[in-house]
Amino acid sequence: MQMNKRIKNILRCYAAGMGIKETASTFHTSRNTVRKYVRLFLSSRKSIDQLLSLSEEQLH
């Protein structure tokens, strides 16, 4: 799975109401990684739809 797709899927699950622990388990990643992506998402002040439409270069 590409990193771009992985980040988007993690954010999609978070936006749908999935918890940090459940999201981390689903994607076989650490809770800290999920927290990092969620923190970046929240600090961006963009909607989930705006973030999901970004390219890989724009996500980094």
pLDDT digits (tens, 9 = 90+) for 18-54: 999 999 999 999 999 999 999 988 888 878 777 777 7
pLDDT value, residue 34: 96
Number of domains in the chain: 1
Q: Is the CB of residue 49 less than 8 Å from the CB of residue 11? A: no
pLDDT value, residue 3: 61
- The boundaries of the domain holding residue 37 are 3-59
Q: Which residue has the tokens 């590409």?
A: 2
pLDDT value, residue 25: 97
Q: What is the CATH number of the domain that holds 12?
A: 1.10.10
**Which sign, positive or negative, has the C-alpha torsion 6, 47, 37, 40?**
positive
Give the whole-angstrom CA distance, residue 43 versus residue 25: 24
